[in-house]
Structure 1
Amino acid sequence: LDHSGAAGDREPVYTPGKEVGINYDSSIRIVFSVADYAQSPLIEYAVMLDGIDSDWSMPMRENHVNYRNLPPGNYTFKVRARLPNEKWSDVNMASMGIKVNPPLWNTWWARIVYLMIFIVGIWIWVKYYKRKVNRRSALEIEKKKGADEKELNEERLRFYTNITHELRTPLTLILGPLEDLVTDNGTPQNVREKIRIIHASTLRLLNLINQILEFRKTETQNRKLCVSRRNLAEHIMEIGLRYKELNRNGKVDYVLDVPAEENDIYFDPEVISTIMNNLLSNAMKYTPDGKIEISLRHVEDNGIRYACISVADTGYGIEPEALPHIFDRYYQAKGKHQASGTGIGLALVKSLSDLHGAILEVESMPGKGTVFTLRLVEDNTYPDALHNDSESESDANAVPEGELPLADSRALVLVVEDNADIREYIAGALGKTYRVIEAENGKEGYDAAVSNNPDIIITDLMMPVMDGLELLSRIKGDISTSHIPVVLLTARDSLHDKERGYECGADSYLTKPFSAKLLNSRIHNILSMRRQLAERLTVASSRVQPDTDIAPRISSESPTLPEMKLGKFDKAFLEKFTTLVEENLTAPDLDMTFMQENLNMSHSTLYRKIKGLTGLSGNEFIRKLRLKHVVGMLAEGASVSEAAYESGFNDIGYFRNCFKDEYGVSPSVYAKRLKSKSENSGNTPPVKGYDSDYK
Structure 2
Amino acid sequence: MKKYIFIILSTLLITACNTNNNRQYVIGVSQCSEDIWRDKLNNELVMSTYQHDNATLKFASANDNDKLQTEQINQFIKEGVDLLIVSPNQIHTISSVIDKAYDKGIPVILFDRKTDSKKYTAFIGADNYEAGHEMGHFIAQQLKGKGRIAEISGLKGSSPAIERNRGFMDALKAFPGIKVVSRRYADWLKQKGEDEMDSIIARNMPISYVFAQNDRMAIGALQATEKHKIKGIKIVGIDALPVPGGGMENVRDGRLEASYIYPTRGDLVMQLALNILEKRPYKRDNYLKGALVTRDNANVLLMQNEEMNKQTARLTNLHGKVDTYLAQYNHQKVYIFLFSVITLLLIGIMVYVYRTIVIRRRIEEEATNAKLQFFTNISHELRTPLTLIADPVEYIINDKNLNPQQRNMLQIVERNVAVLSQLVSEILDFRKVQNGKMKLHLSDFNLTDDMGRWLNLFATSAQKKRITLQLEVASPIFIRADREKIERICYNLLSNAMKYTPEGGRIIFGATADNDLVHISVSDNGMGIEAGDIPYIFDHFYQARNSGSGTGIGLALVKAFTELHHGQANVTSEKGKGSVFSITLPLKQKGEVSQQEAQTTPPLIDSNENCGEPNTVRHLNDIIQPTDSNKPEVLIIDDNNDIRTYLRSALSDLYKVSEAADGKTGLEIARRIVPDIIISDIMMPIMDGLEFCNQLKNDKAISHIPVILLTARSLDEQRAEGYEHGADAYIAKPFSLHLLLSRIENLIQSRRQLSEFFSGNNENEDISKLSTETDKNFITQLRRIIQVNLADSDLSVEKIGDEIGLSRVQLYRKVKALTGYSPVEMLRKARLARARQLLQTTDKNVSEVAYAVGFSTPSYFSKCYKEEFGESPKK
TM-score (norm 1): 0.37
User: Which has more helix, going by share of residues?
Assistant: 2
Larger Rg: 1
For CA contacts below 8 A with separation 6 or more, give which structure has more relative contact order. 1
